[in-house]
Structure 1
């Protein structure tokens, strides 16, 4: 069965991808949404790698925001999708490339023990400014605290150098500067640009579902042409 792995970003949960995952499942695609917040980029990457390793065929792996740092370090993906996400090269971290916008940094609250959270009211405008109610309230209610340091993590492997990749620039993003996104997108094989904010999986999930189904169909056609029945 064709498969997709959806990788959320900082402060988010797998549940933020619930609508996308449900629509893909309904269409017959296996979907895995790993839980991050493991404490560091290496441990987050290991969690996603473990999910990939359970699948029979190389999946399409989508990373959102910080999730791009995570999927950069995995092996065995059939196609990478960077959704307003960090495409890191050797020695780079999300922070070293510019990281969060000033607006997102202003929304961050320090917590006990060095972790951080997002101020709910500021998160609305920064992450979900183009999303309709009551989806905004739902999405903000799911946000969770985040351990410090993940944005400074440096991947040990750079999968986009060996794996087909698509970058989606979110042109109305207020969390990661669209100009930075376009610079990172130049490292990918394929670039799309959507007139959305940072979180289209909340406000416009049909866009993500359509893109993933397009890539799944292309991968299936390619394997058929190559006479490949399984790769694991």
Structure 2
């Protein structure tokens, strides 16, 4: 078994975001990898309207998934579900999708089709996001990072997280997916009940498309705050 982690929006250094769960999996002999997303600057190209977008993110993840034929579970967090919907389509080694506070888009849907993310229904950017229209990028406001996304993590993680934020190409929010892997591959949705970024009621609505649903009493990043829960869930799959 192999695990491929696909991180969410506005962050970089995926291996850091997943490291607590990855280390626990490694102790059980399960290898994992966290591909970089070009739209977050992880391919060395700047973000913006002329920079990498969803297509490049899909290609980066798909390249990793095509490496080897070992049975694979793809774990997608937040925006990572948009990428995974297309990237995992038609890959025979992919046996299960685990969506964490994420999305299962139909073909033709984009991130923007799932609302503004904070559940207030005003249609504008969530208050924890900073959007630079002229530059064509968006990112998490550092001063709101911990209270919104990491309130249940230990101080060490909270202190380090800001160093792994990224400005991302805003174009990814409106670019539609060309496939929906979750329609062919078994899927599990993990609802994070204490998530302040994507409220639990929204997650439960998104989760209706998944094959099964599990809830954990955690914030937006349970793989950092409750890594044993994620490890056990993955081993169970």
Same fold? TM cut 0.5: yes
- Give the equivalent residue in structure 2 for 1:177: 199
Contact 1:168 1:193 survives alignment (8 Å): yes
- Give the equivalent residue in structure 2 for 1:45: 58
- Give the equivalent residue in structure 2 for 1:30: 31
Unaligned runs of 5+ in 1: 216-232
Deviations 1:116-165 (A, max 9, x none): 22221211111112212121111222111111121222110111111000
Contact 1:37 1:147 survives alignment (8 Å): no
Tell me the SS of whatever aligns to 2:105: coil
Tell me the SS of whatever aligns to 2:115: coil
- Give the equivalent residue in structure 2 for 1:63: 76
Unaligned runs of 5+ in 2: 40-51
- Give the equivalent residue in structure 2 for 1:4: 3
Q: What is the aligned residue count? A: 214
Deviations 1:60-92 (A, max 9, x none): 001000001111112222100000001111322
Deviations 1:188-229 (A, max 9, x none): 1110011111111221111111111111xxxxxxxxxxxxxx
1:88 to 94, 98, 105: 105
More helix by share: 1
Deviating 4+ runs (over 3 angstroms): none
Shift of 1:97: 1.5
